[in-house]
Amino acid sequence: MVSQKQPVYVLGVGMTKFIKPRGKVDYPELGFEAGVKAMLDAHINYDDVDQGVACYCYGDSTCGQRVFYQFGMTGIPIYNVNNNCSTGSTGLYMGRNMIAHGAADCVLVVGFEKMFPGSLQTFFQDRANPTGTTGLMMKETRGVTKAPGAAQMFGNAGREHMEKYGSKTEDFAEIARVNHAHSKNNPYSQFQDEYTLDQIMKAPMIHEPLTKLQCCPTSDGSAAAVLVSQAFLDARPELKSQAILIAGQCLATDKPALFNRSAIELVGYSMSELAAQTALKEANVKPEEVKVCELHDCFSANEMVTIEALGLTARGKAHELIRKGGITYGGQVVINPSGGLISKGHPLGATGLAQCAELVWHMRGWANNRSVKDTTVALQHNLGLGGAVVVTVYKRADGKAAQDVSNEEVGRINNLGYNPAVVAKGFTKAQVDQVRSKKARSEWALQDTEQKVEARF
């Protein structure tokens, strides 16, 4: 029997702006920026960190140490995590477990990715592909086209939804329209362009019903979170107002239904459903209580089926919720206020932690330009084919609804002079000095990373 979990809080978050993958910024720089921001936000020094978790898909082993050694070389355990597109939230899940079961009081989780332009690709051609059995089922049930593999997989799920439940191509386009519209309020978003429904539907077709503007781009970027125990927080009572409780969480993998010849199941419907039910039950939350949600909209079709898997609507009814404006401001639940993967971008290892940052800002009341009134619960969903999915439920430490905090007040609270939820800025040398280890720092490990980050701002 797994022992009783202790409460775990997100005390600090930080992220870089997500950018097009053009090779201009390397991962040590991206990870350093996000990690420094998260520690500044948490008001901690790297010497307070007991364990580190690095999250990335594209990179050689121990990229995590390359990033973390820049903060300090304190000898702590550093784990390198790769769990496909759910890598970032898998790191979050690991960090929470470490603290919940007494292995740490403070864990720094940093997700980063330096990607290649164009659609996702396989690097190892001399061995079995981990999603090979999934691809084989797709080939047998729906055939294969020249479109990118992921677009086919998720596009087919959209086709099945249309066939079974009566959703239409414009319903999928509306999901993308909403996410692109939301992104204009997120300073970290790769794209901040609004489009009409007609523009989205007339964009180049990738794999019906998915047009180009309904597919997430590849991105470079990083995001980080500082997780702490109750004891760590109790020793710093002045920080309790910014600490957000991970009230429920589940990392789930596929069930046999994956291979039941359903295109919807083939993109992980059952594991998303299992993770959502488990996390919501742990948090003692009903789906209808959720006012704000960051979900894994790698393609608009995945948002369609995930709305149902999370229990936000009954199965086969997501398009009805979308048609009545139910997924944006003024509706039942605001989905992807950040712009989602479709507009914000999707640097694989960073995505789950960027979702975390967005929802932490909402629960604190800092996301005042895109807040959702009376939010007491926030829901996060991050999925990777292969497969793994993490669903996380957040609540305020005081159990109350989030209230908007002014930018001036946020700047006073965090000693940064600005609100990181609504403005993307860099940091000063003095601020970097504040969070780097006092007892075990290495200038050799840092090289010129700090100057490079400062130069970009």
Q: CA-CA distance, 302 to 306, in Å (whole number)?
A: 6
Query: Mean pLDDT across the chain, nearest whole number?
Result: 96
- In this predicted structure, the answer to whether residue 121 has a pLDDT above a threshold of 80 is no
Q: CA-CA distance, 64 to 73, in Å (whole number)?
A: 12
- In this predicted structure, the answer to whether residue 123 has a pLDDT above a threshold of 90 is no
What is the structure's pLDDT at 3? 64
Task: Report, as an integer, the average pLDDT of 247-267.
Answer: 97
Q: Which CATH number fits domain 8-119+218-413: 3.20.20.70, 3.40.47.10, 3.30.565.10, 3.40.50.970?
A: 3.40.47.10
pLDDT classification of 5: cutoffs 50, 70, 90: confident
Q: Report pLDDT digits (tens) over 51-99.
A: 999 999 999 999 999 999 999 999 999 999 999 999 999 999 999 999 9
Closest by CA to 301, choosing from 194, 209, 203, 385, is 209
What is the structure's pLDDT at 124? 82
Q: CA-CA distance, 352 to 88, in Å (whole number)?
A: 4
Cis before 387? omega within 30: yes
Task: Report, as an integer, the average pLDDT of 417-428.
Answer: 96
Q: Which amino acid is at 173?
A: A
What is the structure's pLDDT at 244? 98
Q: Report pLDDT digits (tens) over 219-250.
A: 999 999 999 999 999 999 999 999 999 999 99
Q: Would you call 199 exposed, middle or buried from its count of C-beta atoms within 10 A (0-12, 13-18, 19+)?
A: middle
Neighbours of 94 (CB within 10 A): 19
Closest by CA to 150, choosing from 204, 215, 56, is 215
Give domain limits for the chain.
8-119+218-413
Closest by CA to 166, choosing from 332, 342, 282, 317, is 317
Task: Report, as an integer, the average pLDDT of 446-457.
Answer: 93
What is the structure's pLDDT at 1? 46
Task: Report, as an integer, the average pLDDT of 398-415.
Answer: 96
Q: Report pLDDT digits (tens) over 188-215.
A: 999 999 999 999 999 999 999 999 999 9
Task: Report, as an integer, the average pLDDT of 338-361.
Answer: 97
pLDDT classification of 153: cutoffs 50, 70, 90: very high
Helix axes 87-100, 348-364, angle to 10 degrees: 60
- In this predicted structure, the answer to whether residue 2 has a pLDDT above a threshold of 80 is no
- In this predicted structure, the answer to whether residue 428 has a pLDDT above a threshold of 80 is yes
